[in-house]
Structure 1
Amino acid sequence: MKTFFSLDLGPRLLPASLALLLAACASAPQPVANPAKDVSHAAAIPQQPEGPSGWTHKPAWGMQRFAVAAANPLAADAGYEMLRAGGSALDAAIAVQLVLTLVEPQSSGIAGGAFLMHWDGQQVTAIDGRETAPAAAGEGLFLKPDGKPMSYTQAVVGGRSVGTPGLMRMLEQAHRKYGALPWARLFKPAIRLSENGFELSARMHQMLVMDPQIKTDPQALAYFFDAKGAPLPVGTLLRNPALAEVLRMVAKGGSEAFMRGPVAADIVRRVRGHASNPGLLSEADMAGYSPKLREPICTDWREYWRVCGFPPPSSGHIAVMQMLGMTAQQNAAQALDASGLPNAAWLNLYAQAANLAFADRAQYVADPDFVAAPAGDWASLLAPDYLRQRALLIGPRSSGVAKAGLPGQLKTAYAPQGAQPEHGTSHISVIDAEGRAVSMTTTIETVFGARIMSDGGTGLRGGFLLNNQLTDFALNPRDASGQPVANRLEPGKRPRSSMAPTLVFDRRDGRLAMTLGSPGGAAIIHYVAKTLVATHDWGLDVQQAIALPNFGAFNGPTLLESDLFPASTAAGLRALGHEVLERDLTSGLQAIMRRPAAPGGGWLGGADPRREGVVRGE
């Protein structure tokens, strides 16, 4: 486990009354839509990947031996089944992912990609299963004939946005090294549920109601909707024979059965033959995909934590630790208000740090196989001297839109990327009986991906959804002067991501302290940062931390989760010069944290009340 740097974060924030915070979380109202009153800055505010579907109170789950946290109870059950059978954390994560393809198809699936962080008890490994751009694609893929970029909706719906899926090759590669159960065993729960059926959940139903584009695909229309074109009602027993057959093929033949042959041919046929927006994915792209082993970035933080995250092409860990590093340079003696929520004074500092971090992200972060790190090392963006320099730009009032810094005083040849939507994802956290751990964030990008469903060439009902990951590249690849954007599309390149699968360790004894992550597009960065601060600085357990109201800034207005902060917080931020917008911020945090103070130790799991997730274990 390589440590690139250590952040000296200054004095610890004073904890507020835990009882007050618990009362605040317990009485939190259900989030409701609250459109921005001022949409002049809409381009600087990432759209939420998936809309809200209600608020369900979740307990904290205490476990002694092992635990799995996932976005749907049936998926968590599949992981639990593997752990009880003596499977590893990686085995459980694979079983969870396969079931998520069936029960949460709007978020992730076997035709998507993922970032996997793995702890084997000795070493942290980062495996990159991110999708890649087709060999025939160029930087102008999303430009119209007049040279202007397509709208996001024009770009995303159809084959044009589909990248080469990397998930199955990545999971198979990881299983060869970290699996304990046979590969085919991991497929049994998903195959069983696909054949026998599962009850359509309230969240999936709500996503179908909210998304008009999914109806444009005949395969999806026949699967998700009734004869009149209405979304199937909650509780419908939904069977997916096409997915069951594809999973049987991959269980027997490995990832090659997905990346070559009839399954790959059907994916390519649907991408290239899309009626209104065909793409460029080829069978050669599918056959030639290879996962990447990356060097994780581990950052010493606070008195004794070491936070390990995914390196570029993910921007997640770098942005999270930039924000936490910069805010801790400030002498904020009290972060929480009387009700136990982050107050305006602390949020003022945090939002300014976020704007600075997102300016650097837009300027520098992209696929490291195509773009050099600033000053030759990604560690330059987290160097203590650099963060201290950046923190000097944080003032008592909002400093407005930030510009990228100059780590190492080396100017870049790239233009900053303009704001555009970022979407998608689900997160899986697992700890097995041997203490091994997985933190994996997985995605098909936006809700229902490219709105193309493949049956894998089976001719059966149902199937799996294709990703729209190419729209994570800059839709406009160059600025007005022709200077290229680092995250522009190039053949074989992996798009920048905000996914932030995270493993936390206690430096005093080297033991794993927590595994966590979230869906949420660019807001993933804020959801993970919130959880780290709340568990370490504010003394909360993982469930309390997850349930805290969300907040963030993306180098534009400051966002607060709708109806969960007192009016005085927004007023206080406005008095400090912030433009404040209240929005649904639908995180899907899944975390498992060591609880050394409990009798016998063990683990405490948390799942986001904003989604359907649960924790299973014993």
Structure 2
Amino acid sequence: MAIESLRKRAVRAALIPLLAFAPPIFARTALPQPGVVSAADPRAAAAGAEILRAGGSATDAVIATFLALSVVEPQSTGLGGGGFLVTGSADGHVDTYDGREAAPKAADAHWFYRDGQPLDHRAAIPGGRSVGVPGNLALAALAHAQHGHLPWAQLFGPAIRLARDGTAITPRLHATLASAKDIAGLDPQGRALWFDPQGNLLPVGAVVKNPALEHMLERVAGEGPRAFYTGANAAAIAKAVSASPINPAPMTAADIGAYHARTAPPVCAPYRTWRICGMGPPSSGGIIVLQTLGMLQRFDLKALGPNSPVAWHLIAEAERLAFADRDRFVDDPSFVPVPTKGLLDPAYIAARSALIREDSTMAEAPAGTPVGTDPHYALGTPIDEHGTTHFVAVDARGDSASFTSTVESAFGSGLMVSGYLLNNELTDFDFVPDRDGKPTVNGVEPGKRPRSSMSPVVVYDAAGHIVLTGGAAGGITIPVQVIRLLIGTLDWGLDARAAITLGVVMPFPGGIAVEAGTPVGAMVPALTALGHPKIVAMPMRLKANAIQRTPDGWVGAADPRSEGASVSP
């Protein structure tokens, strides 16, 4: 097993946009292929590739990858978090799975208030009040039941070995630990893992063993998800949250036992000659991606190319409109009527696109009024998240699985149970329950799942072949990273890795933000000349992974900003 050299395959991968218009060429790739896994850590990608080599499905592989990431990338994901999964079959069928964390039964509209005032967002993160009931394992079990080929327990083997034998602290993990010492060392279990007895952070390369997580993984492997959601583990989660030394909050074992992952209809829309499918609410990512691309269809982005400030201006304008709709309308559909169909209606998107000009900037980018709008709800507040990861697999049958998972902020709430961190996902809710006499669209309610930006996608060509699948991590930047990936590959003819390497442009309070140190970051004067009143060039912790179909087979791509890698069986 070897980590693929993506640079060596970049030239071949660059042919992909031409192939999208010539489906017969892909007949050469109908032969069996071993598949590929791409993840933010090579050890986790290797775990997924091991499962593919054993005959596992793409879904099996991303579950094994997730479990391994729980060991090697605990700052971003784990058993104590949640996520979204999009599976795409070689015959064109798409399923989506919602494993977003849920508020406990005791949660109410003033959950994040103290002394009559909403908490500062940063102050609300550590401890129990920010913890939602974890959904990752329930999602994995549901997806495995429908798309798994190997036994459930077999998927845990690589992660169990990693936890038992130990894994080295990588530079990225070390840097994140150094920047979040207080939250990483909040719980005695975390301090024992990553700090020496004197409280000093362990160095890069130090090998960390996690026997508590090893034993938890063994239990869930043998007993299934009930070992997590019932009994001693459920009681331990409830105790950790309720008795937290910081921000304790009522959570019960019954809250954990009542959790269920759920399937949801995918959101799909055409983009030029392709069909793109993603995750629907409570994730806003799929809607943002599809709305943005839909508004851009009337512009010749291919002719403009990636070096054109006008192209990035158009992308920014479409994103501004999509994000305005997101903040106004998207929430947990079990609690709020989300007008998903209206938001993706071609006529509505065309009307929104008509607001965009190539030579000038909109003074404002207000939310629209799609069919199905409920005037009962007020505008919510954009919330950011940072502790997220994405991973993707394609198997020998040509089926794909794209999984974005998170614990919210780096190291989540800082609370640990059985060697895994508990999320701080509830801080994705709007802390203020109402505005102008109306409830905010993303307010806290018992059992509710907070809005997310996660955007796993799968792309089919006109002949029905999967040509690309992927996603990203990085909070509010997730949809714009995926938009960049799709435009970079489908419009600009870049291979997936080159597309991921591009900078991003995105809405920012009062203007737009661009990634500093990239060609897009150097376009500030040109974008200013187009009328953008405020442009912030800033470093961004971007992280994306994708798999692309080429004439020679599947090619994985990992963000060079990360420690990611693609591995084939």
Normalising by structure 2, we get a TM-score of 0.91
Alignment partner, residue 141 of structure 1: 111
State percent identity of aligned pairs: 42
Verify: 1:607 aligned to 2:558, yes or no.
yes
The Cα of 1:409 is off from its aligned counterpart by 7.9
Alignment partner, residue 228 of structure 2: 258
Q: Work out which of the residue numbers 341, 353, 367 in structure 2 matches 1:391.
A: 353
Distance 1:423-1:482 versus aligned 2 partners, 3 A rule: farther
Alignment partner, residue 169 of structure 1: 138
Q: Which amino acid aligns with 1:390?
A: R
Alignment partner, residue 483 of structure 2: 529
The Cα of 1:182 is off from its aligned counterpart by 1.2
The Cα of 1:180 is off from its aligned counterpart by 1.4
Alignment partner, residue 5 of structure 2: none
- Gaps in structure 1 of 5+ consecutive residues: 1-17, 23-62, 456-462
Alignment partner, residue 60 of structure 1: none
Question: 1:288-313: CA deviations, max 9, x gaps?
Answer: 111111011111111x2100101111
CA distance in 1, matches of 2:156, 2:406: 19
Alignment partner, residue 326 of structure 2: 361
Counterparts of 1:248-287 in structure 2, within 5 Å, are: 248-287=218-257
Q: Work out which of the residue numbers 151, 165, 171 in structure 2 matches 1:196.
A: 165
Q: Work out which of the residue numbers 41, 45, 51 in structure 2 matches 1:82.
A: 51
1:199–1:237 contact (8 Å) kept in structure 2: yes
Distance 1:288-1:332 versus aligned 2 partners, 3 A rule: closer
CA distance in 2, matches of 1:568, 1:265: 53
Q: Work out which of the residue numbers 532, 539, 550 in structure 1 matches 2:504.
A: 550
Question: 1:161-215: CA deviations, max 9, x gaps?
Answer: 1001111112112212211111111111111111111111111000000113222
The Cα of 1:588 is off from its aligned counterpart by 1.4
The Cα of 1:116 is off from its aligned counterpart by 1.0
Verify: 1:128 aligned to 2:98, yes or no.
yes
Q: Which amino acid aligns with 2:428?
A: D
The Cα of 1:333 is off from its aligned counterpart by 7.1
Alignment partner, residue 327 of structure 1: 296
1:98–1:109 contact (8 Å) kept in structure 2: yes
1:162–1:281 contact (8 Å) kept in structure 2: no
Alignment partner, residue 475 of structure 1: 431
1:498–1:522 contact (8 Å) kept in structure 2: yes
SS in 2 for 1:161: coil
Question: 1:481-516: CA deviations, max 9, x gaps?
Answer: 231111111111111111011011112x21111110
CA distance in 1, matches of 2:520, 2:127: 42
SS in 2 for 1:279: coil
Q: Which amino acid aligns with 2:186?
A: T
SS in 2 for 1:514: strand
Over aligned residue pairs, what C-alpha RMSD do you find?
Answer: 1.8
Alignment partner, residue 460 of structure 1: none
* Poorly superposed stretches of 4+, deviation over 6 Å: none
CA distance in 2, matches of 1:236, 1:163: 31
CA distance in 1, matches of 2:451, 2:363: 25
Distance 1:254-1:492 versus aligned 2 partners, 3 A rule: same
1:400–1:556 contact (8 Å) kept in structure 2: no
Distance 1:392-1:411 versus aligned 2 partners, 3 A rule: farther
1:68–1:431 contact (8 Å) kept in structure 2: yes
The Cα of 1:436 is off from its aligned counterpart by 1.5
Q: Which amino acid aligns with 1:366?
A: D
Alignment partner, residue 401 of structure 2: 438
The Cα of 1:555 is off from its aligned counterpart by 5.7
CA distance in 2, matches of 1:252, 1:568: 54
The Cα of 1:546 is off from its aligned counterpart by 0.8
CA distance in 1, matches of 2:450, 2:508: 19
CA distance in 2, matches of 1:476, 1:346: 37
CA distance in 2, matches of 1:592, 1:434: 15
Normalising by structure 1, we get a TM-score of 0.84
CA distance in 2, matches of 1:128, 1:138: 22
Q: Which amino acid aligns with 1:318?
A: I
Counterparts of 1:465-504 in structure 2, within 5 Å, are: 465-479=421-435, 481-504=436-459
CA distance in 2, matches of 1:293, 1:421: 25
Q: Which amino acid aligns with 1:617?
A: S
1:549–1:565 contact (8 Å) kept in structure 2: yes
Distance 1:331-1:430 versus aligned 2 partners, 3 A rule: closer
Verify: 1:379 aligned to 2:349, yes or no.
no
SS in 2 for 1:418: coil
Alignment partner, residue 49 of structure 1: none
Q: Which amino acid aligns with 2:543?
A: G
Q: Work out which of the residue numbers 252, 260, 277 in structure 2 matches 1:290.
A: 260
Counterparts of 1:305-324 in structure 2, within 5 Å, are: 305-324=274-293
- Gaps in structure 2 of 5+ consecutive residues: 1-9, 15-31
2:302–2:492 contact (8 Å) kept in structure 1: no
Q: Which amino acid aligns with 1:606?
A: A
Alignment partner, residue 516 of structure 2: 562
SS in 1 for 2:494: coil
Matched length: 537
The Cα of 1:554 is off from its aligned counterpart by 4.2
Q: Which amino acid aligns with 1:344?
A: P
Q: Which amino acid aligns with 1:418?
A: T
Q: Which amino acid aligns with 2:424?
A: N
Alignment partner, residue 616 of structure 1: 567
Verify: 1:96 aligned to 2:61, yes or no.
no
Deviates more, 1:553-562 or 1:220-229: 553-562
SS in 1 for 2:55: coil
CA distance in 2, matches of 1:319, 1:401: 18
Q: Work out which of the residue numbers 374, 378, 382 in structure 2 matches 1:419.
A: 382
Q: Work out which of the residue numbers 323, 341, 345 in structure 1 matches 2:310.
A: 345
Counterparts of 1:53-64 in structure 2, within 5 Å, are: 64=33
2:503–2:521 contact (8 Å) kept in structure 1: no
Alignment partner, residue 588 of structure 1: 543
CA distance in 2, matches of 1:472, 1:313: 11
Alignment partner, residue 44 of structure 1: none
